[in-house]
Every structure is written in C-alpha cells, then in structure tokens.
Amino acid sequence: MYDLIVIGAGPGGYVCAIRAAQLGLKVACVEGRETLGGTCLNVGCIPSKALLHASHMLHESHENFDKMGLTGAKVKVDWTKMQGYKAETVNTNTKGIEFLFKKNKIDWLKGWAEIEGAGKVKVGDEVHETKNIVIATGSEPAALKGVEVDNAGGVIVDSTGALMLPKIPKSMVVIGAGVIGLELGSVYARLGAEVTVIEYLDAITPGMDADIQKQFQKTLQKQGFKFIMGAAVQSAETKKGKATVTYAPKKGGDAETVEADCVLVSTGRRPYLDGLGLDKAGVELTDRGMVKIDKHWATNVKGIYAIGDCVPGPMLAHKAEDEGMAAAEVIAGKAGHVNYDVIPGVIYTNPEVANVGLTEAAAKETGRKIKVGKFPFMGNARAKAMFMGDGFVKIIADAETDRVLGAHIIGPNAGEMIHEICVAMEFGASAEDIALTCHAHPTTSEAVREAALALGDGAIHV
Ligand code: FAD
C-alpha cells in the first residue's frame, strides 16, 4: 500500500512525488512515456530552449560578431548535429529525474494508469493500492478544425513535430501568435525560414500588457516576421511536400491563401485525461474539460487530487511544480500554498519578454488608482553593449500605497530579471523599496531599478 500514487511524471507530477517522499511518504509515480519529465522535458520547455539557444548563437554570429571585431568564416548550420545537441540536452535532464526518483526511493510504475476508484490505480494488469492519488497528466496540443496535423510528414505539424522537422523549411506559417508559436517561429526565422504568423485576434500574445504586445510585434517584424492579424484559418492542405493555408479576414471579405514548406499549428493546449477513467471514478470536470479542484487541489472524490496543466490556471511548468509541492504538503498534513498572483511568464525569444502580476489594463479594471514607471533599455549601458537597446521595463504600482502590482519587461535577460519583481511582490514591497535597493553596475537589472525610480522622483539615465 502506497501513501501516494502520482499519475504523470511531468514537472507537476515528478516534483509532487519528490516532495512527498522528502516528507516521509511511500510514493510511486506512473508514467506511460519511455522517459520521465513529461511534456516539459521531452517535447516542451527544454528541447525548445535548446533550439532557441543554438539558433540565437547562429544569429549573434551572423548579425553581431563582425560589429565587435569577431571575423572569420561564416558559421553554417548542421541540422543533424543541432538535433543531436537538443536530444542530448533532453536526455541528461530526463535521466536526472530518474536519478532523483532513485535517490528519494520513488517507484516508477511504467505504463498508462487508469483510476479504478479512490485508492486504486491500475497499470497494465496490476492494480496498486494507495491512500492518495494525484492526477498530473498534463496537456496536449489543441486541434484546429480544418487542419490535420501529421508530425511524421513534417509539413503540417504541432509543437512536437516542429521540434523535430526533417529539414529546415524555407518558409513557415505559424497559426496562432501565442508563446509557443512565436518561440518556435523564432527558431526557424533565425535558421533562415520566412515566417508568417496568422492570428485571429488583433494583438499578439493574448493577455499580455498592451505596450509589450506592440513593442514585441515591432521587434519580431524587424527580425523578418510577417503578421496577418484578425484572420481565421479555415483549412490547411498538403500537396507535394508544400502546404496551402486558407484564411478569412475576421472583418469580412474574401478568403485568401498562403503557401509554405511547413505549417505550425500552435493554437493552444487542452488537458490530457484520455483513458484515465475519471468517469468511472466519478471525478468532476470543469466546463472546459479540466479536472475540477478546490483551493487545496482536491477533487470531489476524497483522496484524489489534481495539479498542473490538467487543472485551471496558466499552463506553465513552474506553476505545475509549485502545485506539485503544495499538494504533496497538503497530503502530508502540512499547509501547502501557491500564490497565483505572483506567477511569472516568460517568452524566450530574443529579446526575452517577461511579466508578472497585473497588466496596466487589468490594474485599472480593479478600480484602484495606479501609476506606471517605464525605463527604456536605450538608457542601460550593458544592454547597449549587447546591441539590445530596444525594449523597456514597465512597473505598475498602486498610486496610494506605492505597492508593486505588476511588471512587464521586453529586453535582454528579461526572464531572469523578472524574479526581482516576483520577490518584491511576495514581500509586499513598494516601488520605492526597489528604487532604494543598490543594483550592481553595469547590469541589465539596473533598468528595473530605473523603472522603479521613474515611479518616484524620476529615473536618472533618461
Ligand atoms: P506534463 O508535462 O504534460 O506531463 C504529464 C505527463 O503525464 C506526461 O509525461 C504524460 O505522458 C503522462 N501521462 C498522461 N496520462 C497518463 C496516464 N494515464 N498514465 C501515465 N502517465 C500519463 N512552460 C514553461 O513554464 N516554460 C516554457 O518555456 C515552456 N515551453 C514550452 C514549450 C513547448 C513547445 C510546449 C509544448 C510547452 C511548453 N511549456 C512551457 C509548458 C509546459 O511544458 C507545461 O506547462 C508543463 O509540462 C505541465 O506540466 P504537467 O506536469 O502538468 O504535465
């Protein structure tokens, strides 16, 4: 009899299993994939960041090396070798989780799990008994009507297929201007593809601060991206290794087509709950097909919890990890906690885009008086030395209390810098607290301090 069986070994599930084992519980984790780590390590965060890193290095060598007096033969792409580097990066990380499972004495039950009812998890022919179950089965790419994905064919693909294309396409259509589409679109744009993004809405990266949306689109356009905004894709068809995408303008008018070597469908993700037997176990779902949970990650069935991409909230690895730790703590009789107001989001393009807390529009909607401090990277010496003067830091604070409500950064190292604001928000800091904190020079983080200074008596370097 286990104390806990976790279903799914993605960042939610494996972190939950490790924390529960650290707290003294007898734990097993079921994973149907050949390797641990879930979407994130196998076909998500990690392989995409490996390709983003490699393609960024290529871009730097072509665009900026000469400017710094680094000359020599032009760097070329060996796609097979780059894929090998990506696979090795994934492999070392998934093996790392295997090591952590052994270290923490967690049993990996290999296979696909079915919940037979509270306390009973079937894997293959065997039924395992447990006091608690955590569902951490993650998500999968959402389908788009009229567009059939064939990852093996390499022409119309989803994010999984886009990570392992047989060759670098000369042209690519990305359907959906969200995080995954723009990151993977960036990879192929830097590797030489002409990238066209078709988006239904009128702004890219839905839900982000409007100033960031505008600046980010401008930056990507400078990098060669084309955008077709306010257009609904109706179909995509493959013929002789090429695809034709048909779309209709939202405001009316004739349908139009665009041709490409590759089409990436990145219109969102949906919870993955196939074959889990939730019906039989009586676990309730939300209207959007996610597992319904309370504030303590408990479902309506006693002893069954759920975390990560299969429950409501942002589909992010670190959100899943936080929920994994907190749920393990609740099961072990402690007080698990996740602060959903302070979950950062990062887009790992170049420049990076990062955000935490409220956008300016959302802050205004709360009805409170707000103030906005902005600082451009053009005034930051370190950023300029890296040819990264485009972009800015924007901090939103309560006008009466000076408390930081949110921050939005587009610029170098944005994904690292955002954590200073996260810590500030966790501690209920004011913008002045950040402004009065000495920041090392020359760092890009000085731009965060300057944006905080802009909320008081003024930034220095503008
Ligand atoms: P998952 O990682 O999806 O893991 C669920 C696991 O459960 C899977 O391994 C699956 O095989 C297993 N499983 C499912 N059903 C069963 C069953 N019945 N029995 C046994 N096993 C089962 N997030 C970020 O925060 N940062 C990023 O940079 C980032 N980049 C991404 C890039 C791409 C291309 C994609 C697709 C996603 C990216 N994400 C990123 C999102 C991130 O991958 C997910 O939010 C995260 O993996 C969710 O974790 P999870 O544990 O909930 O589920």
Domain CATH number, residue 175: 3.50.50.60
Considering only CA atoms, which of 156, 195, 151 is closest in space to residue 177?
A: 195
Residues 6+ apart with CB under 8 A from 452: 373, 395, 431, 432, 434, 435
Please give the share of the chain, as a percent, with pLDDT higher than 90.
Answer: 100
Which of 267, 284, 299 lies at the terminal end of a domain, its last residue?
Answer: 267
Please count the structural domains in the chain: 3
Ligand 1 pocket check for 44: Cβ under 6 Å: yes
The answer to whether residue 214 sits within a structural domain is yes
Confidence of residue 295 (pLDDT cuts 50, 70, 90): very high
Q: What is the mean pLDDT of residues 5-29?
A: 98
Please state, in angstroms and rounded to a whole number, the distance separating the CA atoms of residues 266 and 128. Answer: 37
In this prediction, does ipTM exceed 0.95?
yes
Q: What is the mean pLDDT of residues 171-191?
A: 98
The answer to whether residue 460 sits within a structural domain is no
DSSP 98-153: HHHHHHTT-EEEES-EEEEETTEEEETTEEEEEEEEEE---EEEPPBTTB---TTT
Q: How confident is the model at residue 349, as a pLDDT?
A: 98
Q: What is the mean pLDDT of residues 176-195?
A: 98
Q: Do 101 and 42 belong to one domain?
A: yes
Q: Do 261 and 278 belong to one domain?
A: no
Segments forming the whole domain that contains residue 78? 2-141+270-332
Q: Do 231 and 278 belong to one domain?
A: no
Instruction: Check if the beta carbon of residue 166 is closer than 8 Å to that of residue 151.
Output: no
Answer yes or no: is 81 a known binding residue: no
The answer to whether residue 148 sits within a structural domain is no
Q: What is the mean pLDDT of residues 269-285?
A: 97
Atom index in ligand 1 nearest the CA of residue 9 equals 6
Instruction: Check if the beta carbon of residue 111 is closer than 8 Å to that of residue 243.
Output: no
Q: How confident is the model at residue 450, as a pLDDT?
A: 98
Catalytic positions: 441
Which run of H or E residues covers position 215?
A: helix 210-222
Q: What is the mean pLDDT of residues 15-42?
A: 98
Cα of 13 vs centre of ligand 1, distance in Å, is 9
Q: How confident is the model at residue 387, as a pLDDT?
A: 97
Q: How confident is the model at residue 210, as a pLDDT?
A: 98
The answer to whether residue 337 sits within a structural domain is no
Q: Domain holding 442: CATH number? A: 3.30.390.30
Confidence of residue 406 (pLDDT cuts 50, 70, 90): very high
Confidence of residue 257 (pLDDT cuts 50, 70, 90): very high
Q: How confident is the model at residue 114, as a pLDDT?
A: 98
Q: Do 14 and 135 belong to one domain?
A: yes
Q: How confident is the model at residue 230, as a pLDDT?
A: 97
Cα of 148 vs centre of ligand 1, distance in Å, is 22
Ligand 1 pocket check for 45: Cβ under 6 Å: yes
Q: How confident is the model at residue 290, as a pLDDT?
A: 98
Q: Do 123 and 218 belong to one domain?
A: no
Q: How confident is the model at residue 14, as a pLDDT?
A: 98
Average of per-residue pLDDT values in the chain = 97
Residue 134: both structure tokens together:
């955590």
Confidence of residue 175 (pLDDT cuts 50, 70, 90): very high
Q: What is the mean pLDDT of residues 49-76?
A: 97
pLDDT, tens digit, 9 for 90 and up, residues 418-443: 999 999 999 999 999 999 999 999 99
Please give the share of the chain, as a percent, with pLDDT higher than 70.
Answer: 100
Cα of 138 vs centre of ligand 1, distance in Å, is 5
Atom index in ligand 1 nearest the CA of residue 140 equals 3
Q: Do 51 and 132 belong to one domain?
A: yes
| Total-model pTM | 0.97
Answer yes or no: is 176 a known binding residue: yes
Q: Return the ∠ at Cα 390 (arms to 388 and 391), rounded to 5°.
A: 110
The answer to whether residue 283 sits within a structural domain is yes
Write the CA distances from 381 to 296, 384, 387, integer angstroms: 46, 5, 10
Confidence of residue 197 (pLDDT cuts 50, 70, 90): very high
Q: Do 105 and 222 belong to one domain?
A: no
Instruction: Check if the beta carbon of residue 301 is closer than 8 Å to that of residue 118.
Output: yes
Ligand 1 pocket check for 344: Cβ under 6 Å: no
Q: Do 14 and 40 belong to one domain?
A: yes
Q: How confident is the model at residue 371, as a pLDDT?
A: 98
Q: How confident is the model at residue 279, as a pLDDT?
A: 94
The answer to whether residue 379 sits within a structural domain is yes
pLDDT, tens digit, 9 for 90 and up, residues 120-160: 999 999 999 999 999 999 999 999 999 999 999 999 999 99
